A and B are shown apart, each in its own frame.
Chain A
Amino acid sequence: MTKKLDKSKAPLGSTLAAIGCALLQGLPNQVQAGELEKWDVDAAVLVYSESDSRVQAAEPVISATRNFDSETKLNLKLVLDTLTGASPNGALPSDQPQTFTRPSGNGSYTTDAGEIPLDDTFRDTRVAASADWSAPVNRDWAYSVGGHFSSEHDYLSLGTNASLSRYLNQKNTTLTLAGGLSLDTISPEGGLPVGLSPMAEKGAASFSSDFAASRSGSEDDKQVTDLLLGVTQVINRRTLMQFNYSLNLADGYLTDPYKLVSVLDQPGGTTQEYRYESRPDSRIKQALFGQVKYQLGSGDVADLSYRYQFDDWGLNSHTLEFKYRWDLGRHYLEPQVRWYTQSAVDFYQPYALESQVNAGLDEVTADYRLGDFDAWTLGIRYGYQVTEGQEAYTRLSLYQQTTGDFSSATTPASGDDIPDTTAVMWILGYKF
């Protein structure tokens, strides 16, 4: 047998590294020792800005990873999130100015005629920390465990997760089973609103008793259980694929305590009052996710992913994302595009009718985030390799949601009256 020379040449440095390792099979080597000496840190800040002076956020994050050997590592992450600005409160625009009682019951705010009502009370700081540990069990199995903590003035989340992976076919196939559990406590400002109770009007003589009647207790909780089954497959030297099936079960208080629903006298009619929204107390989401990564001969990397998610609230969504990392020596440019579309949950309506409320409507939301909409994200990331092991990067992206008209026999609405979001996201980061 005569061997043939393989003319398809890989970048020299990387190929050399790979063959050298195989020769020294099983021994610790100096490269590993070098990598192990330090923490790999990725520090970044996200500036998020919605148009029309809605939510503005600044989110610094620092993530540090310590590699103990090639497969054992610890990651610690700290995120700070400061948020200001206004957020749609769920009510429909009106041809009259509208006055809303603040969620705390202290004071009120007024929205001009024709404007989408925005609650401008938001000002919050979130602190989140997480730790994840992953390590091999033996040559065929690996595991990971982790925990997170996240706190804001009205929300606390504590969670834990774990995964088990099995390698097959010379590590070309990886099966992963992962689970997570999160216990969240919600303690809204002004207490928990009673679902579908009328919003107490600030000027009314009976305000105190009305407000008290619209509240029940000060906090509630929810449990979120996650299960994920994944397959990762190496196709060839340049191609990698992943498929996941995931299940997310949420139980408990799933309502947004700050969201209202306008109650109209007739379809497209006049606003009579506002009621607090009310959602079911359980939700089961399932998702199918697929991703392909392919490296071109030039060293460029194409990354395509798709997610289909569906739940028992009636929401279906499709997400398609494509990134192309264009290698330019020490620099790279990565255009990113993401398309998202979702259908509304069954109990979404832009507003409710008096007749529905009188008939005992018990689940309703006018939160546009549970309605129908499409969203595009266009972004570009740029990175510069400052030295070996240090990278400066930045990313600018534009996020645009578009909502169409809500066609329905009972509660039709024009897309103009339903909020959507336009935002600019800017990330600046440094890895060292």
Chain B
Amino acid sequence: MKAYKCLILLVLILVISGCSSWGVKPWERDLLAQQKMQLIAEPVEMGLDDHIYFSKEGSSGGRSFGGGGCGCN
């Protein structure tokens, strides 16, 4: 089961890197350069959320190394 999931990820990586029509020219990065288009657009908000969810739920992380570092109740 776990090996199977890893395989999916690998296939995804291959699909992504194999698709050359994706992507933009350097001068077309105007929109992507905006703060609101960053994957983590609001790091402070995300940090606060991660901390709450870390202390109230059985899962954490996945996006980056969010949460953790506390003995939360």
Contacts and interface: CB of A to CB of B under 8 A. Distances in A.
The answer to whether A and B touch directly, with their CB atoms under 8 angstroms apart, is yes
B31 A10 contact: yes
Interface residues of A, number: 99
A79 B6 CA distance: 36
A155 B59 contact: no
A169 B60 CA distance: 32
A256 B56 CA distance: 13
B57 A79 contact: no
Interface string B1-43: 0100110110011001100101111111111111011010111
A19 B58 CA distance: 47
Contacts of B12: 231, 243
A90 B57 CA distance: 15
A186 B71 contact: yes
Interface string A224-254: 1010110111111110111111101000000
A61 B58 contact: no
Given A246-B61, A342-B59, A182 B32 contact: no
B22 to A, nearest CB: 5
Contact of B5 (A55, A150, A288, A317): A288
A168 B17 contact: yes
B57 A18 contact: no
Nearest to A332: B36
A22 B69 CA distance: 43
Contacts of A44: 44-45, 48
B27 A21 contact: yes
Given A240-B32, A319-B59, A170 B25 contact: yes
B44 A42 contact: yes
Interface string A177-197: 010101010100000000000
Interface string A273-311: 000000000000111110101010000010101010100
B34 to A, nearest CB: 7
Given A126-B70, A128-B70, A157-B69, A226 B61 contact: yes
A83 B6 CA distance: 40
Given A46-B48, A236-B24, A401-B56, A287 B61 contact: yes
A245 B9 contact: yes
A346 to B, nearest CB: 12
B37 A155 contact: no
A303 to B, nearest CB: 7
Contact of B62 (A295, A307, A429): A307
A240 B40 CA distance: 12
A85 B26 CA distance: 53
Nearest to A54: B73
B60 to A, nearest CB: 8
Contact of B30 (A10, A169, A182, A375): A10
Contacts of A416: none
Contacts of B63: 244, 289, 291, 305, 307
Contact of A293 (B30, B37, B49): B37
A63 B5 contact: no
A152 B53 CA distance: 18
A155 B71 contact: yes
Given A168-B17, A186-B71, A236-B22, A285 B59 contact: yes
A409 B44 CA distance: 45
A238 B33 CA distance: 10
Given A18-B28, A172-B23, A427-B48, A342 B58 contact: yes
B69 A150 contact: yes
Contacts of A305: 63
27 contacts: A10-B30, A17-B30, A18-B29, A126-B70, A148-B69, A157-B69, A178-B65, A184-B71, A186-B71, A228-B65, A234-B23, A237-B28, A237-B31, A240-B39, A242-B39, A243-B12, A243-B16, A248-B60, A286-B5, A287-B61, A301-B36, A315-B59, A317-B58, A340-B57, A342-B59, A423-B56, A425-B52
Interface of B: 2, 5-6, 8-9, 12-13, 16-17, 20, 22-34, 36-37, 39, 41-45, 47-49, 51-53, 56-65, 68-71, 73
Interface of A: 10, 14-15, 17-19, 21-22, 42, 44, 46, 48, 55, 59, 61, 63, 75, 77, 79, 81, 83, 87, 122, 126, 128, 148, 150, 152, 154-155, 157, 159, 161, 168-173, 175, 178, 180, 182, 184, 186, 224, 226, 228-229, 231-238, 240-246, 248, 256, 258, 285-289, 291, 293, 295, 301, 303, 305, 307, 309, 315, 317, 319, 325, 340, 342, 345, 369-370, 375, 381, 395, 399, 401, 421, 423, 425, 427, 429
